[in-house]
Amino acid sequence: MAELLAGSWESLSLAALLQLLESEEITGWLALGEVGRVGLSKGQVVAAEAGELRGRDALRTLFVVPGQGQFQVTGAAEVPGQSLGQTMGLIMDGIRLSDEWHRLMGMVLEGVGELGALPAGVIEGLDGQRCVLDVVLGAQVPPVRVIDPLLTLLDQRHIRLVRTDPDVMDRWLAYRRRSSEPDPLEGLDSFECLSAGRRLLRSGDLDGAESAFRRAISLAPDDRIASQNLRRLLALRGTNPR
Amino acid sequence: MRIQAAKRLLTVKIVYYGPGLGGKTTNLAQLHERFPGGQRGEMLQLDTDTERTLFFDYFPMVLGRIGGYRVKVDFFTVPGQSFYHATRRAVLEGADGIAFIADSTPSREQANIVAREDLVENLAQLGVSLQDVPHVYQWNKRDARNALSVAMMASVLNPEGAPSAPAIAIRDKGVWETHMLLLGQVFDKIRTSTSPKKVSIG
């Protein structure tokens, strides 16, 4: 299908793009670099993809983890799917989540109550030692899946703020850069992920190494070597390996 | 202002700004109630983290035609908390008119000042001066005990002498007057323009 519009994602925000495409009643796909894409039918958002996420969570992720690079709009005769909601509502929801995430990601939190609303991996990470960003990236959980649950648990005093990590923004920007690039672990088997993790660890990329070890474990849950490497890495980072 | 030539539609963006709990949400809720059902859109609400703040309200109202274009007005509020930086920026971007809802409660005197400074700063970051945007002030909560005097609030918050109105928004007093004052300012500016020059996406 024909390309209708293209440019830099950094100079034209997702919010601006969605409003423009709505006003022009475009049917087609908005591709956002390597991060994801949004499907539109007569200007209404009917589909969104970001990594393994689909639908509303995917769209929210595109707001919270904006990529860098180019966007491209291509027309289509039809994009199937139901509207995800009123465009302005979707936009403001996404921007709100982005604000909340920027507030939360540097918080070092400790669980002191019932944490059942959080995804596995995140619960264990709320040990008062690592900030939310490190916990979420380490657990390979999309930020959009933890923002509202964390806010609720903070409000209910089931978690408490220990301190705030002042250096979190650098790591967040590094993560965003990586997110804009193709997944380096895409298509690798567990052994290859383990090897990649060791290589990243030697190069000092602890976040990348942790992601690789966790990917190796997810592909081969009984792989004791990958688990040992992850435990050593977490100990190195000063986190209680559980 | 956003112009959709194919649809012959002109969309104007109005923002209600002010300190937290000052009555922005109440103003828009009262307006929404007042508009005929067929002319208003759905009021969208997104809860924010603290207080009883409404994240934003939005509803269109057909006002008639300007230069052959149908007119739609989008109304927004912004959350008061400081960490909603991106949200405030997105809402203020491309605003055609601003209603600053000031709180007459004596204990909120400083909050009013901070909110106005914040408004000026946020607009400056967008490359806009408050003087360039049609705006009005509402002195809300006139029924507050020992309410700050209108003259005192105006001297501090409104040195530019923009139009203003007293209000008790919770009782629907002054809400409509503020709204009409602001729309008058906004559409005067649009009509006096020889042609729509600025098209922004906010």
Picking from A147, A164, A181, the residue at the C-terminal end of a domain is: A181
How large is the average pLDDT for residues B196-201? 44
Q: List the alpha helices (DSSP H) in A140-205.
A: 147-155, 168-179, 190-202
Q: Is the pTM of this model over 0.90?
A: no
Q: How many domains does chain A have?
A: 3
The confidence score (pLDDT) of residue B198 equals 46
The confidence score (pLDDT) of residue A165 equals 93
The confidence score (pLDDT) of residue B194 equals 43
In-domain check, residue B199? no
The confidence score (pLDDT) of residue B64 equals 66
Across the interface, of A23, A88, A100, the residue whose CB is closest to B58 is A88
In-domain check, residue B9? yes
Picking from A38, A67, A97, the residue at the C-terminal end of a domain is: A97
Paired tokens of A41 = 């039918």
In-domain check, residue B159? yes
The parent domain of residue B177 ranges over 2-192
Same domain, A60 and A84: yes
Same domain, A16 and A82: yes
- Please indicate whether residue A181 or residue B128 has the higher confidence score (pLDDT): B128
How large is the average pLDDT for residues B16-32? 90
How large is the average pLDDT for residues B132-140? 97
The confidence score (pLDDT) of residue B158 equals 97
**Cα B10 from Cα B86, distance rounded (Å):** 25
The confidence score (pLDDT) of residue B49 equals 52
Q: How many domains does chain B have?
A: 1
The confidence score (pLDDT) of residue B52 equals 40
Residues facing A40 on adjacent strands: A28, A45
In-domain check, residue B132? yes
- pLDDT tens-digit readout, A187-233: 888 888 899 899 888 888 888 888 888 888 888 888 888 899 988 88
Across the interface, of B6, B46, B202, the residue whose CB is closest to A96 is B46
Work out whether strand A44-50 and strand A53-54 pair parallel, antiparallel, or are unpaired: antiparallel
**Cα A241 from Cα A88, distance rounded (Å):** 43
**Nearest 5 degrees, angle CA A135-CA A139-CA A140?**
115
Q: How confident is the model at residue A13 (pLDDT cuts 50, 70, 90)?
A: confident
pLDDT for residue A167 is more than 60: yes
In-domain check, residue B197? no
Q: What percent of chain A has pLDDT over 90?
A: 45
In-domain check, residue B202? no
CATH code, domain carrying B11:
3.40.50.300
Q: What percent of chain B has pLDDT over 90?
A: 49
Return the beta strands (E) in chain A as ranges. 3-8, 28-32, 36-41, 44-50, 53-54, 70-75, 107-111, 127-131, 159-164
Across the interface, of A15, A86, A100, the residue whose CB is closest to B44 is A86
Q: Specify the DSSP element, H or E, that contains B136.
A: strand B135-140
The parent domain of residue A124 ranges over 105-181
Residue of A nearest to B75 (CA): A88
B55–A contact, CB cutoff 8 A: yes
How large is the average pLDDT for residues A72-92? 92
ipTM above 0.95, yes or no: no
In-domain check, residue B181? yes
CATH code, domain carrying A187:
1.25.40
In-domain check, residue B200? no
Contact B83 A92 (CB under 8 A): no
Picking from A181, A213, A230, the residue at the C-terminal end of a domain is: A181
Mean pLDDT (chain B) is 84
Contact A99 B85 (CB under 8 A): yes
Same domain, A153 and A121: yes
